[in-house]
Amino acid sequence: MLEPGKLARQVPLVLDRRDAMVYCDGRRLSREDASRSHPLVTHYDGDDPVSFAIEQKVWTPAPIHFKERLIGIGGYSEDLPCCHDSDLNVRLAMTGCAIHHLHECLYVVRRMAGSVSSDQSRVLDTRCRLAWDYYVELRNRGALSDRRSQALAGKLARDAIELLRRGRKDLCLRNLAWGSEIDNAAVTKELYSSRWAMIARSILGPITTGRIMIFKSKWSKRSPSCLNRIRRWAKNTIRSGA
C-alpha cells in the first residue's frame, strides 16, 4: 500500500535525476497484529550501485523507475520463479543506473502466508543462481571489480549458511564452491570471522564448521551455561580433529 504522498515526494526527485533509481523507506505490518509494524530501511552511502543492488534488499513498492530504462533492459525476467525485483535492480545498475535514497517512509507491506517470497528455500536457491549469472556476465564484460567480487561472494556465503539451516547441504556446498571461485577471501571472512572458526574450517571443513556455528547460535540466547558447554565442546573438537 502506498502512502498518499509517495508520488508527490518521489516523482520530482526522479525528474531531477533521470539517470537514477529513487527509492524510499517503508513499513512492514506484523502478521499477528496489524497495529504493529517494523521499519524497512535500506541505507545507501554512495557505494558502487551494482554492489549495492547485489547486497541490499529494496522492497517492491520502494523505487520509481523511468519506463525507458525498464524497456531498455527488457523489463522483468519472466522466467524467474521469484526475486524479480532484486534481479531488476541489479540489471538496471549494470546499465549505469545511479541510486538515490529518499529517507521517508512512504509505503506499507504485509507478507502473506503462501506467497512467492514465503518459500525461503526457493528464494535462496534462485538468488544464488542469479549471483553466479551476474558474476559470469560482469566477468565477460570486463566489469568485475574487487568490490563487486566481494559483494557476490559474500552474498553466496551468507545464503549458504541459510540453506544449511534448512537442511540443503547440497545447495550449501554449491554456494561455497561458487563463492570461493569468485573471491575465496570474502567467503572466509563472511563465514569464519572468529579465530576458532577459521581453525575449525581448516580441520573439519566448511560444512561441519557451519553446523557447529549454527548450533551454537541457536542456543546462545537460551542458556549461558549451555553456550559455555558448546564452546568447550567446539574447542575440544578442534584440538582432536574429530
In tens, the pLDDT along 136-186 reads 999 999 999 999 999 999 999 889 888 887 888 888 888 988 998 999 888
CB atoms within 10 A of CB 176: 24
Amino acid 17: pLDDT: 87
Global confidence as pTM:
0.76
CB atoms within 10 A of CB 233: 13
On the 0-12 / 13-18 / 19+ scale of CB atoms within 10 A, 36 is exposed
Amino acid 207: pLDDT: 62
Task: Say how far apart CA 118 and CA 116 lie, in whole Å.
Answer: 6
pLDDT tens digits, the chain, 242 residues: what are they? 888 899 999 999 999 988 899 999 999 887 666 667 788 888 998 889 999 999 999 998 999 988 888 899 999 998 999 999 999 999 999 999 999 999 999 999 876 665 555 678 889 999 999 999 999 999 999 999 999 999 999 999 889 888 887 888 888 888 988 998 999 888 877 776 655 555 556 656 666 666 666 555 554 444 445 445 545 554 555 455 44
Pairing of strands 63-64, 98-109: unpaired
C-alpha cell of residue 24: 524510499
CB of 217 within 8 A of CB of 224?
no
Nearest to 135 by CA among 173, 172, 179, 169: 179
CB of 210 within 8 A of CB of 217?
no
Q: What does the domain layout of the chain look like in residue ranges?
A: 1-112, 119-191, 192-242
| Cα dist from 173 to 56, 177, 185, 230, whole Å | 23, 6, 16, 24
C-alpha cell of residue 227: 553456550
Q: Looking at domain 1-112, which of 3.40.710.10, 1.10.10.10, 3.90.550.10, 3.50.50.60 is its CATH number?
A: 3.90.550.10
